[in-house]
Structure 1
Amino acid sequence: MGCSAGILALHLARDVLNVHGNSLALILSMESVAVNFYKGDTKSMLLSNCLFRMGGAGALLSNRPPLQVRACPHRQDPPRGQQCRLLLRNAAARRPGPHRRITQVAGEALKENMTAVGKVVLSYWEQVAYVWGGSVPELRKGMEHFCIHAGGKAVIEAIRERLRLRERDVEASKMALWRFGNKSSSSTWYALAYLEANGRLETGDKVCQLAFGSGFKCNTAIWKCVSPPRIQASNV
């Protein structure tokens, strides 16, 4: 599932909560570089060692009150998508690594995903404008906050430009990357924690979690703030 596993797990948690009433579901997202740490001297294969960091996050969900709106589009693109995450080998070792086509495939997956999300969060006239214009919907008109996968500064900037977001909209993701590195599937939760700690969330605000994963996957979760979290001075 790659770096999108944290968002994909929400779907499983939803199904569990639909079956078991008055229950809690705990989602744990983490990254461990120990298994795939590369010990060779090929520069192109050292990227994962420099980019990823060990860490994780937990999210506790409840079916009280139930989640109301979801968009779960599925993109199936085996030939090119699977090539974006390969198990690379050389004489020294092997490790999973990104492929040079990842930018192109990610852009296509992002457009398809955001189109599906736009049907849920955007007004009727915004959707009409998309149909006539054909570009990626301007999601900022339907959501207040964004938690983008902190896979790298270039990745965050590319998504910001593609979705026509402001610098403030990607601040949480950039800060998560700067302070903690690429935490893989838990990176969007780190970004959400940044918004909470800085008092950005208000009642009624919508938050978009956007994650990418191998396969190739682009997954989105839309949250609505029912009450602002308590700000703790020690939580910085």
Structure 2
Amino acid sequence: MDDKSIQFMKRMLENSGIGDQSYLPPSTHYIPPSHTLNDARDEADQVIFSSIDDLFAKTRISPDAIDIVVANCTVFSPVPSLADMIVNKYKLRSDVRSIHISGMGCSAGMISVEAAKSLLQVAPQGAHALVVSTEIVSFFKFYTGTNPAMLQPNVLFRMGGAAVLMSTSRSESRFKLMHTVRTITAAQDRSYQCAFQEEDDKGQLGVNLSKDLVSVAGDTLQANITAIGSLVLPLSEQLQFVLSVVARKLLNRKMKPYVPDFRMAFEHFCIHAGGRAVIDAVQRSLSLSDEDVEPSRMTLHRFGNTSSSSVWYELGYIDAKQKFLGSISSFPCEAAKQTHA
């Protein structure tokens, strides 16, 4: 890594919107950073088990009551899996249903919610699903080359995780999950390659964040909100959107499409805290106010990009201010709506 690369990361960090209280695991404090399997396991134990312990303490739910476990982490997929680590740690029942989701990026948290929802729909009434989302930074190999697109993950990602309890029991629930809508664009090469783990021309391994990433995010989000709009928007907004699409096709394809006012359907928004540019792009696309994107910006500043768990940090911020939500995250894009139960 040369001086130019170091200066690039320094400028990027200064403009990233990430504060100086975000967390990196101890293994990254060494020069050079350590990225062994044991380092990753230690970080997973610390993040996952502390989150679950806190969840059990707050909900007063016994581990014996857990029927489903869904864990997600993009880059760390050990054997045994993270889901099996949880089953072993808490000695869960032998008939528990467990799933580990890997390689799905920052939207994996909402994908896990959708998976848990599907399993709960065929489970007995009153069943409980434990959903755990994290990204293990210790296994996220520190890129030591000079490709700017591959230097970005060195700066953006931070240590973090969240545990969430879902149930079909109305009496135990604080909120009701109304809709989940997933849009995946991996069939398009431009989308498929926007975050791609690979070696550079000198054989250095890293994750390449494509220059198309923000525009891909915008396109995927546009498709996703079109799909969820029919479920949540009032008829007046749906009609204006349809008329706008028809007018573009018949009159002028260069005409800007009508952007529905999603604040008529959602009181609050959780935009994945992937970086300042991502939040800015979504804010512009949906014509949101600074107050609407405040949870995302504050999460990015305090915790950095914690990948799939970031929306839960934002929920915590909103909940602490006695607010609640509609949430949107992307690549693939997943939207969910919740209301008070």
Asked if 1:175 corresponds to 2:298, the answer is: yes
Instruction: Answer whether contact 2:270 2:326 (CA < 8 A) is retained.
Output: yes
* Cα deviations by residue, 1:147-189 (Å, 9 ceiling, x for unpaired): 1100011111110111011111100010000000000000000
RMSD across aligned C-alpha pairs, in angstroms?
A: 1.7
* Cα deviations by residue, 1:190-236 (Å, 9 ceiling, x for unpaired): 000000112224xxxxx2111123xxx1111111023xxxxxxxxxx
Offset of residue 93 of structure 1: 2.2
Offset of residue 136 of structure 1: 3.1
Instruction: Answer whether contact 1:33 1:49 (CA < 8 A) is retained.
Output: no
Flag the 1:68–1:146 CA change in 2: closer, same or farther, 3 A.
Answer: closer
- What SS class does the counterpart of residue 169 from structure 1 fall into? coil
Q: Which residue of 1 aligns with 2:80?
A: none
- What SS class does the counterpart of residue 100 from structure 1 fall into? coil
Among the aligned pairs, what percent are the same residue?
38
- Determine which of 88, 91, 111 is the counterpart of 1:8: 111
- What SS class does the counterpart of residue 72 from structure 1 fall into? strand
Q: Which residue of 2 aligns with 1:38?
A: 142
Cα distance between partner residues in 2 of 1:87 and 1:69: 35
Q: Which residue of 2 aligns with 1:231?
A: none
Cα distance between partner residues in 2 of 1:39 and 1:108: 29
Deviates more, 1:14-23 or 1:53-62: 14-23
Asked if 1:158 corresponds to 2:256, the answer is: no
Residues 1-236 of structure 1 aligned to structure 2 (within 5 Å): 1-21=104-124, 22-42=126-146, 44=148, 45-65=150-170, 67=176, 69-76=178-185, 77-90=187-200, 91=202, 93-133=204-244, 134-201=257-324, 207-213=325-331, 217-226=332-341
Offset of residue 4 of structure 1: 0.3
Deviates more, 1:130-139 or 1:188-197: 130-139
* Cα deviations by residue, 1:21-68 (Å, 9 ceiling, x for unpaired): 211101100011222222414151221111000110111000123956
Deviates more, 1:154-163 or 1:76-85: 76-85
TM-score by length of 1: 0.86
Cα distance between partner residues in 2 of 1:8 and 1:108: 19
Cα distance between partner residues in 2 of 1:68 and 1:26: 15
Deviates more, 1:101-110 or 1:32-41: 32-41
Aligned residues: 218
AA of the residue aligned to 1:15: S
Flag the 1:73–1:32 CA change in 2: closer, same or farther, 3 A.
Answer: closer
Instruction: Answer whether contact 1:115 1:136 (CA < 8 A) is retained.
Output: no
AA of the residue aligned to 1:49: N
Flag structure 2 segments of 5+ consecutive residues without an equivalent. Answer: 1-103, 245-256
Deviates more, 1:70-79 or 1:97-106: 70-79
Q: Which residue of 1 aligns with 2:248?
A: none
AA of the residue aligned to 1:159: V
Cα distance between partner residues in 1 of 2:140 and 2:294: 30
Cα distance between partner residues in 2 of 1:151 and 1:92: 27
Cα distance between partner residues in 1 of 2:177 and 2:147: 47
Flag the 1:163–1:7 CA change in 2: closer, same or farther, 3 A.
Answer: same
AA of the residue aligned to 2:181: C
**Larger Rg computed on CA atoms:** 2
Cα distance between partner residues in 2 of 1:68 and 1:59: 13
Instruction: Answer whether contact 2:177 2:337 (CA < 8 A) is retained.
Output: no
Cα distance between partner residues in 1 of 2:162 and 2:151: 25
* Cα deviations by residue, 1:74-106 (Å, 9 ceiling, x for unpaired): 333332211112123233621122111212221
Cα distance between partner residues in 2 of 1:92 and 1:35: 18
Cα distance between partner residues in 2 of 1:131 and 1:17: 35
Deviates more, 1:56-65 or 1:86-95: 86-95
Offset of residue 118 of structure 1: 1.2
Deviates more, 1:134-143 or 1:181-190: 134-143
* Cα deviations by residue, 1:110-143 (Å, 9 ceiling, x for unpaired): 1110111111111111100111123332211111
- What SS class does the counterpart of residue 196 from structure 2 fall into? strand
